[in-house]
Structure 1
Amino acid sequence: MLLLFVAACGFLAAEAIVCTPDMCKGSCPDLSGCKGTVKANGGFCGCCDTCVNLLGENEKCSFSFLLGVPSSSECGPGLHCSLKTVTCVKAVKRQVALGPCALKLKQLQTGTPMLGVQTPTCNQDGSYKSVQCMGSVCYCVDSAGIEIAGYRTSIGATDFSTKNCQCARDKEQFSKTGMLGQTFTCENNGNYQQYKCEGSVCFCTDDNGKMVGTAKVNIGLLSTLKC
């Protein structure tokens, strides 16, 4: 069967129409009675316009292998010819998965507006930003957008511009694991302090709680750590 198919394709290619310079010298047909759609330059070798019949859903369609041979029919708007069924089927739109924050935002935008309902702030990937604000108050939230207690600040507070809530988020997430042995030293705005302790060892950290430098001290000598 494969050899037969290859042979057929070779025959069709050999029989393909060759467009010569004088091919378009003849007159074009009258398409005033076209019941389908007129396709510009859709005739042989693009010489004339042609009438194309628009097929409906589940109607049989075809694929032309002959070069230069125009198709007399095609699937209508919103449809395409399926290679599997050789019929016109609806084009399936791929659903893009939304993050929890983007999904919540979409629900609020498409639903009935309600006074007092907070509009969430999302990251580009659709997740919740760690800092959410309502009115003049901003606070830390976890990955599900739920407020983490104890980290509210005013928009006018001097530390608001650097508020990232990373320490509050990491502490909240670690507490849900039920594990012990890691200490989180968060500032009142939810950011990491300049140091972090794991067990009995403390060291300097950046805004994301990552170790800075190589200096480490016992927790009892924390006051001697210079960050």
Structure 2
Amino acid sequence: MIRPKTPCEIARDTAMKIVMPGVYVPTCDNDGQYTHEQCSGSTGYCWCVNSSGQKIPGTDSPPGTPIINCTTQNAMIRPKTPCEDARDAALNGSIGAYVPTCDGNGQYTPEQCWGSTGYCWCVNSSGQKIPGTETPPGTDRINCTTQSK
């Protein structure tokens, strides 16, 4: 049985379809997960990523410098946040499900949108919807950065 593509495999396949020099193509392991070390073939930079493929700050290795051993940077590879757990569960769930948006630190972004419906709303730092902030598709969105404070 063929398993569904993982987020890494989808990102890799999408990048490989872009015919443009310098496009970063993610590296996935045999299970379809992001490898701990990612490199840009065009720039020579390498960096460590977490299990969601997000760059771990402070791990950039410019060309010609020693590459950080990402597997020994366990202290830097933090556990998944509630937002990342919810996002990963949704990505492995049914088509059209709401997928939370997390920032680079794994926290909920102030504005969340449900792609299949077009509805958007503001959330607090725990990812809970702020009442009265939901906007239907085609309407002006509320500035969530002022609502979530």
Please tell me the TM-score bracket, short chain as reference: 0.3 to 0.5
- TM normalised by structure 2 equals 0.44
- TM normalised by structure 1 equals 0.30
Q: Which structure has greater strand proportion?
A: 1
Q: Which has the higher contact order (CA 8 A, sep 6+)?
A: 2
Larger Rg: 1
